[in-house]
Structure 1
Amino acid sequence: MSKEASFAIDPQKVAQLPHHAEYYIPHRKPMLLIDELVTVTEKGCISKVTITDQLPFMQAEGLPSWVGIEIMAQTIAMYGGIEQRLAGNEPKLGFLLGAKKFDMAQEFFTVGELLSVEIHLNFLNRQKIGMFDCKITTEKGVSTASLLVAQPDDTSSVLPM
């Protein structure tokens, strides 16, 4: 059994860093779904997303709520990217391994809607496999899920050059 890894970010150290999402995660448009970092806590962060008609996966009714899983995962990636930036490194790739307790408050996010995405680290082992509780808050309600993620030090066996 592995010991829990230490992973806590000092919010005061983040205060001088940029807030735009692409500074913290390797995603780029059109697959960059989150807009910016709002705040950091010791074991999590909050991001902001404004739904636009330019987002991938858009349908006539809006953005399907199942895309919320990726929005949550990108917010987790942002949290990992904060750690990397504070250490003077570029953000690293991570992987979404699974989701449980996925409960969406709405079927679609509509154009112009503002999403507040909050993630909280529950567990992270030495192999950098972690579990986060996530929630998306809108005027229509709160959507929740728990996500299992991984951020291995070496991704060469997963992603060939």
Structure 2
Amino acid sequence: MSISDHLPHASKIVMIDEVVEFGPGKIKTRSVIKEDNIFLRDGKIEMYKAIEIMAQALGIYDSKTREAVGQKSGLGFLLGSRKFEMFIPFLSIGDEIEITSVCSIQDDSGFGVYDCELYVNGILGSRASLNVISPDDDFLQKVFG
């Protein structure tokens, strides 16, 4: 499976290149900022967009977790973030990005809180606690009919 198979995004928006580590309650991903990245503006990506990269790592985590128990990949939603901190202002072409995400809280409804850190060329660039939900098909059917 490719990384794009784990996310419902169009392939141009996927910002994760590989999964480095995956296990119960944690994921580590890696990517490189490429010249064709659609988030680039004047050769840079503003650091506040790091939340999207963190959320994609969590989407992959959810998909791989479901896959491990024989379920199909589902939709996930970023509900918000807390304690979002930026230590550098932007990402540049060629930067190597590593995301580490660790589960803080996960309940049976699919709601979870994950502590995420984004490293740029080995230096902490930003961190946040992301609130996400990955509801099951029954819940989605009730909401979307």
Question: TM-score, length-normalised on structure 2?
Answer: 0.88
Counterpart in the other structure of 1:7: none
Question: 1 or 2, which has the higher helix percentage?
Answer: 2
The aligned amino acid for 1:26 is P
Report the identity percentage: 27
Alpha-carbon spacing, 1:41–1:87, altered in 2? closer, same or farther (3 Å): closer
How far residue 140 of structure 1 moved from its aligned partner, in angstroms, is 6.7
Alpha-carbon spacing, 1:159–1:35, altered in 2? closer, same or farther (3 Å): farther
How far residue 61 of structure 1 moved from its aligned partner, in angstroms, is 4.3
SS at match of 1:132: strand
Q: Distance in 1 between matches of 2:60 and 2:4?
A: 9
Counterpart in the other structure of 2:78: 96
Counterpart in the other structure of 1:23: 5
Question: 1 or 2, which has the higher strand percentage?
Answer: 2
Q: Residue deviations 1:2-23, cap 9 Å, x none?
A: xxxxxxxxxxxxxxxx5x4223
Q: Distance in 2 between matches of 1:31 and 1:90?
A: 22
SS at match of 2:12: coil
User: RMSD across aligned C-alpha pairs, in angstroms?
Assistant: 1.8
Question: TM-score, length-normalised on structure 1?
Answer: 0.80
How far residue 158 of structure 1 moved from its aligned partner, in angstroms, is 5.0
Counterpart in the other structure of 1:14: none
Ranges of 4+ aligned residues in structure 1 off by more than 2 Å: 23-28, 87-90, 154-160
Q: Distance in 1 between matches of 2:27 and 2:85?
A: 20
Alpha-carbon spacing, 1:39–1:140, altered in 2? closer, same or farther (3 Å): closer
Q: Residue deviations 1:25-45, cap 9 Å, x none?
A: 222311211111111133101
- Structure 1's unaligned 5+ residue stretches are 1-17
- Structure 2's unaligned 5+ residue stretches are none
User: Is it true that 1:144 corresponds to 2:117 in the alignment?
Assistant: no
The aligned amino acid for 1:152 is P
Q: Distance in 2 between matches of 1:21 and 1:74?
A: 10
Counterpart in the other structure of 2:30: 48
Alpha-carbon spacing, 1:51–1:68, altered in 2? closer, same or farther (3 Å): same
Task: Give the count of matched residue pairs.
Answer: 142
The structure 2 residue matched to 1:109, chosen from 79, 87, 91, is 91
Q: Distance in 2 between matches of 1:77 and 1:35?
A: 13
